[in-house]
Structure 1
């Protein structure tokens, strides 16, 4: 199951690290100030997902690439419209005369619309952008795929859903056969829906579908991160479309209910609004995050109480 850790302390800017069990790969959502994020974790980040580039979500980008330079790896950066220009500007603001062109490669995926993702490549020392292609999906690797919703925060704010890939397990106790390579062949046939594929076991030949009862499909975890957004129906419809029945969602809960007018003015959400949309989505577990710095620990408890009451988990 996907694991997520909030790497920012209370009154620090938001940053959430997502880990895949038994994998060295990490994924980072937003890069605000985050004192709990270690150098080792940064160096394990293979993809960075930026909701939007307000300073509290983007200020630590320099600290991220500071610890990635020299790795020789390709790191993917996903974000809203113009993210490629903003990354370019940050990188070009430094002098790189001692850095080799193979020190790192960033692949920037600009979310233009739900159907259009522009993919750019940028490398040292000159950091000149190169448009590679346009595609209709955001991100997929061997462990997960990522979908998204473009929310309104008076600028595009991207909410991300990380879907762990399904796995197939073998019921050893339910089988009368000895273990062998036939198990991996059976799993492959199941995943490809090759019902008629012939599987040889101990000298006998079976159709794969005859053996599918020995397998169990384990659905992957669906973990969401929803950052800054206006508390309105337009955003809620988009959230429902992507995050319905998610296993766990971290959602921006910037204001107390009594400050909902500030939320309206600043295109943010507030406690009961965030809790209510998570309930409407049927999310199994919801966690309020990203509170205004104006608040104390007591205020935070008040926000969390109102959130969970609206979510139905008080």
Structure 2
């Protein structure tokens, strides 16, 4: 199951760690100041997802990189237009005469549009960008697939949906057969919708479709992270297209309702607006995050109260 931990304290800049149960892989959403993020956790991060590069979401990239260098690993970084140039500039601002060229490799995925992702490589010591390809998906590995929405924050702000891979359950008690490799063959046929595949069981041949009743598909957990965005209709339509019926969504609620004029001016959301769109998306659980640093703990309680009232009201 996918789990998320907010690694930033009140008045620190936002950073969220995504963990996969029973896996050593971690994913990081944004690189704001995060005093609760440990070196061990950073060294387990295999992919970083940047919403946008305002300083409060990107300032700690160097600190993250500091603890990854020397790992020899390939780390994926996903982000909005020009993210490749911004990372290149950060890395080239240091002197690298003592570093090995195999110390680390970054694969940067620049989001141009929903179906256009430019993929670049960056390696030490010169950190020269290499355009590798353009692809039509953002990220997928053995654990998760990541979808996204491009929101307006007076710049592109990427909202990410982490989708755990579906699993298939075999109902042994209903089969009447002994266990064997046929079960994995049946699952593969089920996942590929290969209805005509012949499955050999105890010396007899069966059509895969006739055995599909022994299997159940379990939808993977869906966890979303929606950072800075204007509280407007166009953004909400994009959010609904990606995050509807998610299991859990963390969503920016930067301002109190009483400060929503500031929200409009600065292309941010506010408490009840974020709660309402989560209700309209029919998400199972929603958590307000990323509050203005002007606010006290009492103000944050006010934001959370307004958010949950809008989210849960009948």
Partner of 2:71: 71
Give the CA deviation at 1:105. Answer: 0.5
Partner of 1:81: 81
SS at match of 2:187: helix
SS at match of 1:260: helix
Change in 2 beyond 3 A, CA 1:36/1:313 = farther
What are the superposed Cα offsets for residues 57-96 of structure 1, whole Å, 9 maximum, x if unpaired?
A: 0111011111111111111000011100100011011111
Partner of 1:214: 214
Q: Distance in 2 between matches of 1:137 and 1:199?
A: 33
Partner of 2:14: 14
Partner of 1:243: 243
Q: Distance in 2 between matches of 1:228 and 1:80?
A: 13
Aligned pairs (5 A) from 1:101-250 = 101-250=101-250
What are the superposed Cα offsets for residues 23-70 of structure 1, whole Å, 9 maximum, x if unpaired?
A: 111111001011111111111111100000111101110111111111
What are the superposed Cα offsets for residues 228-276 of structure 1, whole Å, 9 maximum, x if unpaired?
A: 0111111111111111111110000000000001111111100000001
Q: Distance in 2 between matches of 1:169 and 1:115?
A: 33
Give the CA deviation at 1:293. Answer: 0.8
Matched, 1:278 2:278: yes
SS at match of 2:120: strand
Q: Distance in 1 between matches of 2:76 and 2:233?
A: 32
Q: Distance in 1 between matches of 2:38 and 2:65?
A: 13
Alpha-carbon RMSD across the aligned residues, in angstroms, is 1.1
Give the CA deviation at 1:313. Answer: 5.9
Q: Distance in 2 between matches of 1:116 and 1:193?
A: 28
Q: Which runs of 5+ in 2 are unaligned?
A: none
TM-score normalised by length of structure 2:
0.98
Matched, 1:60 2:60: yes
SS at match of 2:40: helix
What are the superposed Cα offsets for residues 5-31 of structure 1, whole Å, 9 maximum, x if unpaired?
A: 111111111111111111111111001
Q: Distance in 2 between matches of 1:112 and 1:212?
A: 40
Give the CA deviation at 1:199. Answer: 1.2
Q: Distance in 1 between matches of 2:273 and 2:59?
A: 27
Matched, 1:46 2:31: no
Number of matched pairs: 314
Q: Distance in 2 between matches of 1:313 and 1:276?
A: 9
Q: Distance in 2 between matches of 1:12 and 1:108?
A: 26
Superposition misfits of 4+ residues, deviation over 3 angstroms? none
